[in-house]
Amino acid sequence: MTSTTNFYESLNELVLDSRFRNLTVTQNFENFLNNFGINEAENMFTFSWLLSPKGSHGLKDIFVKEFMTNCWSNINGFYGANFKGFKELKFYSTLSPVYFQHTSFTNTFIDREITKEVPCADMVITDQMSKIMIVVNNRYDQVACTKAYTYFNSDKFNYFENKVFVSFDGEVQSHKDGQWMYMSNEWIINLCATIIDCPQYNNLKITSYLKDFYQFLTGNQFGTIENNIADQCGTLISDYYEVLSVLKSYKAEKIADKYLVDINPRDYATLYAGKISEKEYGVLSLYWSYRNTFNTFFQNVELESVTRNMEKAVENKGYRFDRKFIRNGFCFTPSFSKVRTDRSFMNTIFDVEIVFDMNKNLTMCLVVNKGSWDKLTTVQRETIQKNFEYSGMILNDRAVVWQNFYRQDWKNKDLGKDVVALFDKVDTYFATLGFKVA
């Protein structure tokens, strides 16, 4: 472990680093909507405000139309065989994106109070004219969500013929053939960007709000180049991994069994004043000042340990990997020795991504970049989907062919072994994929 003297010298060097300063500005995603502030417990307040056609944002029903369109599109293309039941819903069979875009939803009602009666129903969207009901959940709990599904399908709600149940929690994907569908935040990130860039809304305060919300969802200030932010984050971790690790686990000298960074300002004022040395208080002040504006960076520091574990695990394997930082996570790209050249089609097709969702959970995905996916034959795609037991989610720039979810206890999981096991699976199935391109 770094000595105390060297630790403070290294810490001072870190704080003065221009990359560190730059990231603290671009990742300030706890400052949103002025006095409200936003954190994961307040996501639904923000979503309900944006989705309300009568909201003070003045955008009318833009968000609720886009939300309904994406719900329908997910059922149509993203879930396939894993969620066959959704295609039997009237929401899917009687409605369409054309209907959503050409219908006025100005009288749509957003109910946030119902969560007191049905805890996992964080928001219920109802529209009388179209007979639509969308029940939205922020944190998925299988037992509670099953009860909610039964409740909203009772005779009490028979008027609403077009129902769909949506969760923003990635864990819902681990429950196959469930009644709830997963809605990632990509749709609202893209919509925010579209509205911010639209000259029509230049004079509305909503653009500044949406920029802050975009920053909360992505970890990046709107208009910044994500690759640059990821690279700066990556090089900082490489340079200062040890000192940051010490900062995260630094113990106060005079308080037994209490980690310094676990003491919050209120604790310090009421319990620990006078018990902590001046230098320790300096570390605390630094940590408090950056904690709310630098969450993604500290999480990436902890994710870096995955790379270190993997490097040991693949020493005797027939492949190697490169890793890079991406928005709110890591991307690992394997290269297999059985493939002739490093730049062959087969050696550039698969990536493993580990990313945070808005609730600070982790999702691990095996992805194929969209350009490569489009080159594959139908048989090759079906073979990949069969081998990895996942039907595939087609996003704008990549196809997700396998996925695993980790709750906020991901720090206790050996993710390195999971990534290597996924590499091994790809290596095993290469012979069955039938690639002819080299």
36 — pLDDT class (breaks 50, 70, 90): very low
Lowest mean pLDDT among 31-40, 307-316, 351-360, 389-398: 31-40
The candidate with the shortest Cα–Cα distance to 51, out of 36, 61, 39, is 61
Pairing of strands 162-167, 181-182: parallel
Q: What is the pLDDT of residue 35?
A: 40
Mean pLDDT computed over 406-426: 85
**Hey, how many other C-beta atoms are within 10 angstroms of the C-beta on 281?**
16
Instruction: Say which residue the tokens 């870096």 belong to.
Output: 304
Q: What is the pLDDT of residue 436?
A: 47
User: What totals of helices (H) and strands (E) does the chain contain, helices first?
Assistant: 16, 11
C-alpha separations of 344 from 338, 372, 373, 374 in Å: 11, 12, 15, 16
Lowest mean pLDDT among 57-66, 103-112, 134-143, 387-396: 387-396
Taking the C-alpha atoms of residue 310 and residue 30, their distance in angstroms, rounded to an integer, is 33
Lowest mean pLDDT among 226-230, 260-264, 317-321: 226-230
Instruction: Say which residue the tokens 């010298």 belong to.
Output: 9
Q: CA-based angle 45:48:52, to the nearest 5?
A: 145
The candidate with the shortest Cα–Cα distance to 245, out of 236, 254, 256, is 236
Structure tokens at 23: 């990231």
197's enclosing H/E stretch is: helix 186-197
What average pLDDT does the chain have? 80
Contact (CB, 8 A) for 220 and 210 = no
- Using the predicted structure, report yes or no on whether residue 176 has a pLDDT greater than 70: no
165 — pLDDT class (breaks 50, 70, 90): very high
Pairing of strands 132-137, 162-167: parallel
Q: What is the pLDDT of residue 37?
A: 43
For 318-360, how does the pLDDT look when each residue is reduced to its tens digit (9 = 90+)? 888 888 888 778 899 888 877 666 667 777 788 999 887 766 7
Sheet holding 362-369, edge to edge: 319-326, 329-336, 350-356, 362-369, 398-406, 393-394
Q: What is the pLDDT of residue 300?
A: 77
For 296-319, how does the pLDDT look when each residue is reduced to its tens digit (9 = 90+)? 677 777 788 888 888 888 888 888
Contact (CB, 8 A) for 420 and 310 = yes
Residues 6+ apart with CB under 8 A from 273: none
